[in-house]
Amino acid sequence: MAFDLQAIQEYLPLYKEAFLLTVRIGFEGILIAFLLGILCALIEYRRIPVLRQLTAVYVELFRNTPLLVQLFFIYFGLPKIGISIAAETCGRLGLGLLGGAYMAEAFKSALSSVEPIQRESAISLGMSETQCFRYVILPQAISVGVPGIVANVIFLLKETSVFSAISLMDLMFTAKDLIGLYYKTTECLTLLVIFYLFMLLPVSILGSFAEKRVRYAGFGD
């Protein structure tokens, strides 16, 4: 059967709407992931008792369970105990919790890559802990952490494909729905691939650019 360009034209508005929803929820979830990751990394860096252990449990729990299972638990499990969460909120929360665990490891790895002698030297020169972190440790950690952070962002955007499991009208849901209705499998999957490329390629390009910039700025090796 020939490739149906008319079907592509008809489905395009639906994919655009699904694309905007996927991008919005995806980046809102990534923002939550950033905040959680930074918080967990700082708790580990400062070695705060109790919170450090709780952070370790959180990271291990969410890194070792699939996002789909987490979404099912939040969307279908929590209402059983009286906590109902809207699908969009569930999507961004699930992605944020999963991403926070991965971001925490990326941030912790970046901070731990800075040799202890750097901090000791800065303190001996009269810097406060805050100044030492801001002017000595953080700039070096940034150049180390950027590749891992970018990889995590791309990974999390790919994970948005499971949002359809909780009835969110994302790209995957739209593709499956149209295939079920009209059996235009090739056309629907082609649009799905194209829109995911639109979402992921700019992030990959900007991430590579950011990595080069921080290295050229003198934060790298």
List pLDDT tens digits, range 155-169. Answer: 999 999 999 999 899
User: What is the per-residue pLDDT for 220?
Assistant: 46
List pLDDT tens digits, range 33-63. Answer: 999 999 999 898 888 999 999 999 999 999 9
Write the CATH number for 96.
1.10.3720.10
Q: For all residues of the chain together, what is the average pLDDT?
A: 89
Q: How many domains does the chain have?
A: 1
Is 217's pLDDT higher than 70?
no
What is the b/e burial string over 163-182, where b = at least 16 CB atoms within 10 angstroms of the residue's CB?
bbbbebbbbbbbbeebbeee
Within a 10 A sphere around the Cβ of 27, how many other Cβ atoms?
18
Containing structural domain, residue 181: 5-219
User: What is the per-residue pLDDT for 216?
Assistant: 67
What is the b/e burial string over 89-115, where b = at least 16 CB atoms within 10 angstroms of the residue's CB?
ebbbbbbbbbbbbbbbbbbbebbeebe
